[in-house]
Structure 1
Amino acid sequence: MTPTGTAPSAGPRTAWAGRNHTLLTAAAVVTNLGSQGALIAAAFAVLGAGGSGGDVGLVAAARTVPLVLFLLVGGAVADRLPRHRVMVAANALNCLSQAAFAALVLAGEPRLWQMMLLAALGGTGQAFFGPASEGMLMASVDERQAGRAFALYRMALNGAGIGGAALGGALVALIGPGWVLAVDAAAFALAGALRALLDVSGMPARAPGAGMLAELRSGWREFIGRPWLWSVVVQFAVVNAVVGAAESVYGPLVARDSLGGPGPWGVALGAFGAGTVCGALLMTRWKPRRLLLAGALCTFPLALPSAALAVPLPVVWLTAVMFVSGASVEVFGVSWITAMHQEIPEEKFSRVSAYDWLGSVGLVPVATALAGPVENAAGRTTALWGCSALIVLVTAAVLTVPEVRTLTRRGGSAPEAPVAQGEAVAEGPVAQR
């Protein structure tokens, strides 16, 4: 019998590799391949139009601000409307905005305000897509196989991110940023078409809501009433902020001054990506009984890259540190999403996910903006050690929450269904968690 809120699996696939999970995975791979290249293309489009590094930052901020502003609305909408329709509509908006961005760049002389406006439209689409996507993914897997399904999803997503960044950089150099942005627009169109094929016949009907504000309050009560939930979100608001500042601001500067330039830094970032894939692969087999305790303990290694940059360590050791931190964050990521799937009611998941997303990204632009002034005031080395110390402190603090230490995976250590030989599942964020 199909569990409540889970679409029936089609054909001979296992529960975690049903039709919806496969479609969601394939669509995520497609969009992540395109989006990683588009991030590089957008930066070079700004520079190619005569912009400065500050202008590149403005275009990046133009995408982040509406993402933060509309996340809660996006979560409420995803819990009121069919999630697959919200996802397709968001993909359509991203497709059109990227196509317009590509046309501007290919036509020559795009203006900064135009690029900022189109980036903002892309961020708005992501604000509606993210909570709906997580809710749809939750509803597509059986609770008994959730850990494996999420690990495979993230493994494919991270693999697509690595490949997309490498391919995107090569294509920007070969054919120019405008055409890479056009490829990203096409990727959104293809992904939207795949998501339009999702089978929602086995999912519960949505009851009429009491209004947007009432539903946001309901989501907030669900969020704030679970100490393990809001405490980890607060933890990662800080962790993501300082990691973002270290990797986007301090890392390139250390690489320029001490490591030999962008090449070695690219290798280190690639090692982090490879670590995430290996960490996700580990989580297809390992099922920690205390989900959040395992995840929180694996957050401590995220303090290592900032410390390695503060020394700074030679490239070979920095690469090893980045690999370990990438693997560790995937252990947390799979444990976290499995706990959410287990504990949050399906009909409220997207609203709760929106608060999670808001916590994850809310402080990132602030930390990135303050990274330069902090370096000027305290010095780069002190700033990097401060990043490491903050990660250790907030992670130690979250371990004082009883629910974080004791929340237990349901079903004990029951074995998972075996993977059929030759059966492949493609997948592709979220978010930094």
Structure 2
Amino acid sequence: MTDTAAPTPVRILLTGRFGWFFAGRTVDLAGSSMTTVALALAVLQASGRVADLGIVLAANMIPALVLLLVGGAVADRVRRRTVLIATNLCTAAAMAAMAAVLITAHYDLVVIAGLALVSGAVSAFSQPALRGIVPELVGRQDLQRANALLASSQNTARILGPMLASVLVATAGGGWALAADAASYLLAAAAFARIPGASRPPAANRPLWRDLVDGWSVFRSMRWVVIMTVSFALVNAFSVGPWNVLGPQVVSGHDGAVGWGTVQTARALGLLVMSVVAVRIVLRRPLRDGRIWGTLAGLPLLAVGLSGDAWIVAAAAFVGGLGFTVAAITWETTLQAAVPEESLSRVVAYDDLLSYVAIPLSQLVVGPLAAVHGAKEVSVACGVAYVLAGLLPLLSREVRNVRP
């Protein structure tokens, strides 16, 4: 199923245009992974009210979803390098303003929520640009390797970022943690500024709504992309709510909070290990092989339902992390290689929006379902449904035959 990758050596790939992007993306990811933890702890530290935290987190998330399609259209008509520089500078300003409010002990929910809203809105523009710029920086033969390198930095940031944010909040205070977060976005903007200007010309001067319509036409015309996006929506519906709600409930009931922390650490290690391994291998049929590997990510839900013991769930979470990473890297690589570059950011924006749309519903209904049918029973059912939903696209000949 795999063979040794022959493309550009890593040390050469990490120089020049992609090297500066990798550096900026790594710092950007570190800042993003710190933001959620630092912001949550800072708000609780300043206000002591859980309701305030819910308002701030919602203010951060809602504009990110609402503006995602607009962000994709902008990233396809403006140079993505410019979008990345601008969005990181704007996020740095929002984080710095939050830090100033908290450091000077002038906490105000309206002000913090407003700044969180700005930060969330900006992220709607940065994500499509981040996903769309990679094919501009590396050749097609290096896409999988480049995405594996980016996944490695992302998974490392997911482990270290929250830890660093927690330490800063505990020692220096929430305001200073957000100040460090703001500095990371400034560094990312500086790295993105070192990327040479792309040769891709700006899009024609036309209404933004026309770009949105054209992006939807491209998305819809690629039937295999639509099928995969539907699969991702189902997978998210069956996994995000059950894992985040039932996982800690069942595992903590067996082994306490430390047990759930062990599970999360094991999953993060699985993500990191496979992202490092993926730098050295190439999948001949990435979309098909990614779907097969991706079924492993259903194992943790099955382990929660069939056992609930922290060590068993942790082992399943590690294996699930391996499979999830392969699925994510192969999907990103296939999209970047097969979707026209001038439409890529819009297509990935539609992919993201439709893939995530079921997550809030999943989080809302899983609790009531568990109350009626039992947490373990619901977890097993969702684990089985996850595997089936992940394999569903393979029934399509178009999906099976996609070769970037």
Q: Which residue of 2 aligns with 1:301?
A: 296
State the aligned residue count: 396
**Paired letter, 2:385:** L
**Paired letter, 2:351:** D
Secondary structure of the residue that 1:210 maps to in structure 2? Answer: coil
Q: Structure 2: how far apart are the matches of 1:109 and 1:323?
A: 43
1:228, 1:404 within 8 Å by CA — same for their partners in 2?
Answer: yes
Unaligned runs of 5+ in 2: 1-7
2:145, 2:279 within 8 Å by CA — same for their partners in 1?
Answer: yes
1:64, 1:365 within 8 Å by CA — same for their partners in 2?
Answer: no
**Which of 345, 350, 353 is the equivalent residue of 1:350?**
345
**Paired letter, 1:147:** Q
**Cα offset, 1:51, TM superposition:** 4.5
**Cα offset, 1:199, TM superposition:** 0.5
**Cα offset, 1:235, TM superposition:** 1.3
1:31, 1:184 within 8 Å by CA — same for their partners in 2?
Answer: no
Q: Which residue of 2 aligns with 1:37?
A: 34
Is 1:88 aligned with 2:85?
A: yes
**Paired letter, 1:313:** G
Q: Which residue of 1 aligns with 2:5?
A: none
Which has the larger share of helix? Answer: 2
Between 1:247-256 and 1:83-92, the stretch displaced more is 247-256
Residues 122 and 387 of structure 1, relative CA distance in 2, 3 Å threshold: farther
Residues 198 and 290 of structure 1, relative CA distance in 2, 3 Å threshold: same
Q: CA offsets per residue over residues 5-42 of structure 1, 9 Å max, x none?
A: xxxx9xx963x334121111111211222222221122
**Cα offset, 1:124, TM superposition:** 0.8
Q: Structure 2: how far apart are the matches of 1:148 and 1:371?
A: 37
**Which of 86, 94, 97 is the equivalent residue of 1:97?**
94
Q: Which residue of 2 aligns with 1:235?
A: 231
Query: Please, what TM-score do these two structures have when normalized by structure 2?
Result: 0.91
Is 1:368 aligned with 2:363?
A: yes
Q: Structure 1: how far apart are the matches of 2:49 and 2:107?
A: 14
**Paired letter, 1:204:** R
Pairwise CA RMSD of aligned residues? 2.1
Q: Which residue of 1 aligns with 2:4?
A: none
Matches within 5 A, 1:331-410: 331-409=326-404
**Paired letter, 2:286:** L
Q: Structure 1: how far apart are the matches of 2:369 and 2:112?
A: 29
Matches within 5 A, 1:121-270: 121-201=118-198, 203-261=199-257, 263-270=258-265
**Cα offset, 1:110, TM superposition:** 2.5
**Cα offset, 1:104, TM superposition:** 2.4
**Cα offset, 1:55, TM superposition:** 4.1
Unaligned runs of 5+ in 1: 1-8, 410-433
Query: Please, what TM-score do these two structures have when normalized by structure 1?
Result: 0.86
**Cα offset, 1:189, TM superposition:** 1.0
Q: Structure 2: how far apart are the matches of 1:400 and 1:215?
A: 32
1:104, 1:110 within 8 Å by CA — same for their partners in 2?
Answer: yes
1:258, 1:312 within 8 Å by CA — same for their partners in 2?
Answer: no
2:293, 2:327 within 8 Å by CA — same for their partners in 1?
Answer: yes
Q: Structure 1: how far apart are the matches of 2:63 and 2:399?
A: 31
**Paired letter, 2:299:** L
**Cα offset, 1:392, TM superposition:** 2.0
2:305, 2:377 within 8 Å by CA — same for their partners in 1?
Answer: yes
1:49, 1:109 within 8 Å by CA — same for their partners in 2?
Answer: no
Of all paired residues, the percent bearing the same amino acid is 32
Secondary structure of the residue that 1:287 maps to in structure 2? Answer: strand
Q: Structure 2: how far apart are the matches of 1:307 and 1:107?
A: 48
Q: Structure 2: how far apart are the matches of 1:128 and 1:34?
A: 16
**Cα offset, 1:116, TM superposition:** 2.5
Residues 253 and 130 of structure 1, relative CA distance in 2, 3 Å threshold: same
Residues 310 and 61 of structure 1, relative CA distance in 2, 3 Å threshold: farther
**Paired letter, 1:81:** V
Is 1:316 aligned with 2:311?
A: yes
Residues 107 and 373 of structure 1, relative CA distance in 2, 3 Å threshold: farther
Q: CA offsets per residue over residues 192-236 of structure 1, 9 Å max, x none?
A: 1111121025x2212414321111111111111112111111211
**Cα offset, 1:359, TM superposition:** 2.3
Q: Structure 2: how far apart are the matches of 1:338 and 1:118?
A: 34
Residues 244 and 60 of structure 1, relative CA distance in 2, 3 Å threshold: farther
Between 1:175-184 and 1:360-369, the stretch displaced more is 360-369
**Paired letter, 1:257:** G
